[in-house]
Structure 1
Amino acid sequence: MFSSLLLFSSLLAISQAIPPPPIDPCAPYCADVYIISCRATLEVQGEGQIGQVAEYVQSATMQTVERVALEYPAILEGYAKSAATGAEALKQLITKQTKECPDQKIVLLGYSQGAQVVGDAISGGGYGQMGDELIPGMSEELIDRITAVVLMGDPRHMAREEYQHGTARKDDGDGVFPRSPQQIETLNKHKHKISSYCNRKDALCAVRGKGNLGGHYDTISMFVTPAKEWVLEMIEGQELPEIPDELEIESDSEELPEVPDELEIPQEI
């Protein structure tokens, strides 16, 4: 009995004397939530206007949040190449982040060209004016790592997409650069984690609607509140209320002239 107690006391003393493993200064910092913002065409490098959603989420949640802005050209001349570059950069960033921080909740935010970049990264790029060759999107394994996706004023918006929560209706048509059937099928498959907002007066995401570029610029102010509240619910894991097919939101763009039959879109995109 005495020898057993002596052995136990010795083991206890040894275990207390062993210091905890040192913290690796080279280990990556892993916040609970990782938000990537993809800015619109011609916005300066940074989060852009869509960063308002990221800012709200960070201030409203008790979880730790890391915000980053995707680095890509976001230019008008050479638009197709710019969007393709952004989509590839986003895929690489998410691949890297999921390896370094496997338990993070990843949120993707995109406005205008930035929305196209996000959608192309997920479902693949190319098709139509974006080039006939279809460019592969993310693997299903990688898509499963994404918690929430917000698209605003997506030029590749489709009237039949099942994750549309803006004011655009089916008869308002598709965006200026429609997606392929395969691409829209991929996005619809993940509709539970995507929220797309197209203003029916936005001539870039709903070309048959009675809209104009002013309607495109109104998108952020119109939908920032429902978007940021939806993202917060997604990362908190709360039960989500149903979103109506059409939101009754008034736009200040009512007085703006109707979009001409042909938009001045660069031929070399």
Structure 2
Amino acid sequence: MKASTIAVPVLASLASASPVEPRQSCADIHIFGARETTAPAGYGTSEGLVNMVKQAYPGATSEAIDYPACGGQSQCGGISYDQSASQGTTAVVSAVTALNQQCPDTKIVLIGYSQGGQIVDNALCGGSGSTLTGAALDAVKAAVFMGDPHNNVGLPYNVGTCQAGGFAARPSGFQCSPASTSIIKSYCDSQDPYCCNGNDANHHQQYVSIYGSQALAFIKGLLDAA
């Protein structure tokens, strides 16, 4: 969400990160969830979709990305939004790479909400520090961004009613690299003031409720084909 002191309410229940399991108990599917700005440590609003995937695939494991999720507010110790997003991007790349090294056959799903969507976006599509490459990138079978401030009109993976850009919009003509856009869906509606140019902050928290079933079907289609 926006790089300011504005705090968007967190409506989902929160869960703490769990450690990666040993190689001998690697799951077939592992989900990483990245929370929104100001949400306490855990999954934030992404938890709703993380749980939907886990319910669809019994035995799947999940882990919250550990990063500041700051918007420049004083309680973050002076960490700016951009610094937080940069640290978050590094955290996504590190977590996915470590999981892939430990569990090379595990299929990975990435789910990011708001700033969490931005850092997953960065890790897959570039724009802020390191990106996923090689076997770690290949292990990512599906990625969902919800309320991503990088949203801009015309991106091939866009879903929703937004016809503008978020406050950290990708430049016109941007092309995602190194990831394939076929594994990505990005959900944003026109009412949203963070991934679009609307004025309904509450709508920003509603993407799992509105698009969760659609996003799950997208993820399942990719996982089942992998």
TM-score in same-fold range (> 0.5): yes
* Aligned: 1:201 with 2:195: no
CA distance in 1, matches of 2:178, 2:27: 29
Q: Is the 8 A contact 1:35 1:106 kept in 2?
A: yes
* Aligned: 1:178 with 2:169: yes
TM-fit CA distance, 1:123: 2.0
CA distance in 2, matches of 1:154, 1:185: 16
Residue from 81, 95, 107 that aligns with 1:93 = 95
Q: What SS is found at the alignment partner of 1:151?
A: strand
TM-score (norm 2): 0.80
Show the 5 A alignment for 1:229-268. Answer: 229-237=217-225
Q: Is the 8 A contact 1:202 1:216 kept in 2?
A: yes
Q: What SS is found at the alignment partner of 1:236?
A: helix
CA RMSD of aligned residues (A): 2.2
Correspondence for 1:117: 119
Residue from 147, 151, 156 that aligns with 2:150 = 156
CA distance in 2, matches of 1:181, 1:201: 21
Q: Is the 8 A contact 2:29 2:108 kept in 1?
A: yes
Q: Which has the higher contact order (CA 8 A, sep 6+)?
A: 2
Q: Is the 8 A contact 1:123 1:136 kept in 2?
A: no
List gaps (5 residues or longer) in structure 1.
1-24, 127-134, 239-269
CA distance in 2, matches of 1:116, 1:102: 25
TM-score (norm 1): 0.68
Correspondence for 1:34: 30
Return closer, same or farther for 1:188/1:165 CA change in 2, 3 Å cut-off.
Answer: farther
Structure 1: 4+ residue segments shifted above 6 A: none
State the identity %: 29
* Aligned: 1:217 with 2:205: yes
Residue from 68, 71, 74 that aligns with 2:69 = 74
Return closer, same or farther for 1:195/1:69 CA change in 2, 3 Å cut-off.
Answer: same
* Aligned: 1:190 with 2:180: yes
Over residues 216-265 of structure 1, what are the superposed CA-to-partner deviations in whole Å (9 max), with x where a residue is unaligned? 12333211221122212222228xxxxxxxxxxxxxxxxxxxxxxxxxxx
Over residues 159-186 of structure 1, what are the superposed CA-to-partner deviations in whole Å (9 max), with x where a residue is unaligned? 1110012222xxx21111122468x312
Aligned length: 199
List gaps (5 residues or longer) in structure 2.
1-20, 73-79
Q: Is the 8 A contact 2:112 2:118 kept in 1?
A: yes
Return closer, same or farther for 1:204/1:222 CA change in 2, 3 Å cut-off.
Answer: same
Residue identity in the other structure for 1:121: A
CA distance in 1, matches of 2:134, 2:69: 27
TM-fit CA distance, 1:157: 0.5
Q: What SS is found at the alignment partner of 1:67?
A: strand
Q: Is the 8 A contact 2:33 2:112 kept in 1?
A: yes
Return closer, same or farther for 1:211/1:114 CA change in 2, 3 Å cut-off.
Answer: same
